[in-house]
């Protein structure tokens, strides 16, 4: 590692990879210099010293069968620890994300979300973990190969004054070593995908914040990464811009991208994410599909049901169904409070039909992520 005149560590420069193009890790200030690969002498996922005089977990000694399923996990972190001097910022996080999922990372400010994301983006090489891999590749052994798989969007947009949108993307396309003959077509594709074609010749510093966020996503799509790391992409956006960002992420999910997104807008995460992780004080307090976390907390799902042949007798029969914790009636519509740890929604629908209900509408309400968050956290920071 070299040092600049301010004493900060900076990666050493290296030549572009022979495959034709590679991925430099980027932060809000632009492409980072490419780091030298560390020698892959052992399957050890320790990224650096434990720090603060503490000893880190033992190196990864996985069996061959365990390694055979590594490709099924886009993100595989186990026992991740990160120190900044004496501050123990991340304390043994386990985070596993299957390919093709949208994973919502939530927690209070200072909980360790950004630090964890930066470890995955290869921007924090000093860490300890029993396993730390992206796409089956150990972060500490081959960070350059990991960078070829990821697209990182930080929470602050790096402003490049004097550049148009197209010039901005041309700069990063060159930084990603995209062949010159294909750059124009790739840039046109990402502009269309992010709905920025009409702004191609507009100055970057004249864009709205929402457009700048979409441009950040366009930038990291240039090399077609498998994993997107998005740190607060909806921060500071107005309602329209948030909706546009959400629809863009849905489109990327349909294209098969794996997405890790941190956000404080919990309601929108519940509409977007297939799984969530709740982090507090550097520890993961819950992780998995929201419905499973809901069941684990014994929380109740609200279901609106419209029944055409509803009468008092049927209401009483519905009250006795397994998993039904409460029933409120309004003319031909019922509001049911359902314990999904007892009865799945699919089974509830069958049970309603079994008592003779003719169902016109069956609408489960979105899970209340705000309630989940408040139940699981206490407002602590690392």
Q: Does residue 238 share a domain with residue 211?
A: yes
Residue 189 burial by CB count (10 A; 0-12/13-18/19+): exposed, middle or buried? Answer: middle
Domain assignment of residue 358, yes or no:
yes
Angstrom distance (rounded) from CA 318 to CA 348: 10
> Which region among 21-30, 154-163, 173-182, 224-233 has the lowest average model confidence (pLDDT)?
21-30
Distance CA 283, CA 276 (A): 14
Inform me whether the pLDDT recorded for 335 exceeds 90: yes
Q: Which residue has the tokens 């123990």?
A: 88
Could you tell me if residue 264 is inside a domain? yes
In tens, the pLDDT along 169-206 reads 999 999 999 999 999 999 999 999 999 999 999 999 89
Give the domain-ending residue among 258, 288, 318: 288
346 and 268 in a single domain? The answer is: no
- Residue 280 has a pLDDT of 87
- Average pLDDT estimate for 345-363: 93
In terms of domains, do 366 and 247 share one? no
Mean pLDDT calculated for residue range 22-43: 36
Q: Read off the pLDDT of residues 42-77 as tens digits, 9 standing for 90 and up.
A: 334 545 444 433 334 444 444 444 544 566 899 999
95 part of a folded domain: yes
> Virtual CA dihedral for 359, 363, 364, 365, nearest 10 degrees?
-150
Is the Cβ–Cβ distance between 215 and 165 less than 8 Å? Answer: yes
What are phi and psi for residue 368, nearest 5 degrees? -85, 90
- Does 263 lie in the same domain as 330? no
* 225-239 confidence digits (pLDDT tens): 999 999 988 877 888
Closest CA to 221 of 152, 163, 120: 152
Both tokens of 335, joined, read 């509001």
Q: Give residue for tokens 């700048």.
A: 212
Of 129-143, 282-296, 324-338, the least confident: 282-296
**DSSP 3-state assignment of 356?**
coil
CA distance 350 to 357: 10
Number of H-type helices and E-type strands within the chain: 12, 18
Q: How confident is the model at residue 159 (pLDDT cuts 50, 70, 90)?
A: low
Same-domain pairing of 45 and 175: yes
Closest CA to 104 of 254, 270, 249, 220: 270
Least confident of 53-67, 217-231, 311-325: 53-67
In percent, the amount of the chain with pLDDT more than 70 equals 77
pLDDT averaged over the chain? Answer: 80
**Which of 1-15, 100-114, 282-296 shows the lowest per-residue confidence on average (mean pLDDT)?**
1-15
Q: Which of 21-35, 72-86, 310-324 has the lowest mean pLDDT?
A: 21-35
Whether residue 246 sits in one domain with residue 167: yes
261 lies in a domain? yes
- The burial class, CB within 10 Å (0-12 / 13-18 / 19+), for 82 is buried
> Does residue 380 carry a pLDDT above 80?
no
Helix (H, G, I), strand (E, B) or coil at 2: strand
Pair 173, 200 in one domain? yes
- Of the two residues 16 and 248, the one the predictor is more confident about is 248
Domain that holds residue 262: 18-288
Cα 218 from chain centre: 17
- C-beta separation of 264 from 232 below 8 A: yes
Q: Both 327 and 273 in a single domain? A: no
Residue 307's CATH number: 3.30.70.100
170 and 312: one domain?
Answer: no
- Where residue 221 sits, what CATH number does that domain have? 3.40.50.300
Q: Indicate whether 380 belongs to any domain.
A: no
Tokens (6 digits) for 271:
């509409």
Same domain, 227 and 116: yes
Domain closes at, from 256, 288, 320 = 288
Residue 109: what pLDDT? 84
| Whether residues 241 and 135 fall in one domain | yes
Q: Which tops the pLDDT comparison, 127 or 60? A: 127
The continuous run of DSSP H or E covering 315 comes out as helix 312-319
Task: Mark which of 229, 260, 288 sits at the end of a domain.
Answer: 288
Is the domain of 260 the same as that of 304? no
On whether residue 338 sits in a domain, the answer given is yes
Residue 232 belongs to a domain: yes
111 vs 2, more confident:
111
Other Cβ atoms less than 10 A from the Cβ of 310: the count is 18
CB 47 within 8 A of CB 138: no
Mean pLDDT for 330-337 is 90
Q: Based on the structure, what is the number of domains in the chain?
A: 2
What average pLDDT score do residues 201-216 get? 91
**Residue 312 vs residues 27, 253, 284, 326, 328: alpha-carbon distances, Å:** 62, 45, 47, 15, 12
Q: Is residue 237 part of a domain?
A: yes
The answer, yes or no, to whether residue 366 has pLDDT greater than 80, is no
Of 56 and 209, the one with more pLDDT: 209
pLDDT, residue 294, reads 72
Instruction: Give the Cβ contact number of residue 314 at 10 Å.
Output: 18
């Amino acid at each position: 590692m070299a040092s600049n005149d301010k004493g900060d560590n900076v990666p050493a420069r290296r030549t572009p990879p022979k495959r034709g193009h590679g991925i430099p890790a980027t932060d809000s200030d632009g492409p980072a210099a490419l780091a030298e690969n560390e020698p892959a002498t052992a399957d050890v996922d320790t990224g650096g010293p434990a720090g603060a005089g503490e000893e880190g977990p033992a190196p990864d000694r996985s069996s061959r069968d365990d390694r055979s399923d590594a490709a099924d996990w886009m993100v595989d972190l186990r026992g991740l620890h990160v120190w900044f001097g004496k501050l123990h910022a991340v304390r043994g996080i386990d985070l596993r994300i299957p390919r093709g999922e949208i994973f919502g990372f939530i927690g209070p400010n200072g909980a360790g979300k950004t630090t964890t994301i930066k470890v995955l983006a290869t921007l924090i090489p000093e860490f300890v973990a029993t396993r730390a891999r992206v796409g089956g590749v150990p972060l500490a052994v081959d960070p350059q190969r990991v960078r070829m798989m990821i697209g990182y969007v930080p929470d602050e947009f790096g402003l490049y004054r004097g550049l148009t949108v197209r010039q901005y993307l041309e700069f990063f396309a060159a930084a990603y070593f995209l062949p010159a003959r294909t750059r124009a077509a790739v840039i046109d594709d990402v502009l269309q995908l992010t709905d920025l074609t009409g702004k191609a010749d507009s100055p970057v510093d004249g864009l709205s914040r929402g457009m700048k966020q979409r441009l950040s996503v366009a930038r990291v799509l240039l090399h077609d990464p498998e994993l997107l790391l998005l740190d607060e992409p909806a921060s500071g956006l107005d309602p329209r811009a948030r909706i546009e960002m959400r629809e863009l992420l849905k489109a990327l999910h349909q294209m098969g991208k794996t997405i890790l997104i941190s956000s404080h807008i919990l309601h929108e995460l519940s509409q977007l994410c297939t799984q969530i992780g709740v982090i507090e004080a550097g520890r993961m307090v819950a992780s998995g599909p929201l419905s499973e976390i809901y069941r684990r907390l014994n929380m109740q799902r609200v279901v609106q049901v419209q029944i055409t042949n509803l009468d008092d007798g049927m209401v009483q029969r519905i009250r006795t169904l397994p998993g039904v914790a409460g029933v409120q009636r309004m003319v031909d519509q019922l509001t049911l409070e359902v314990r999904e740890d007892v009865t799945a929604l699919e089974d509830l629908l069958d049970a309603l039909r079994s008592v003779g209900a003719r169902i016109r509408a069956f609408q489960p309400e979105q899970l209340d992520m705000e309630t989940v968050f408040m139940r699981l956290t206490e407002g602590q920071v690392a």
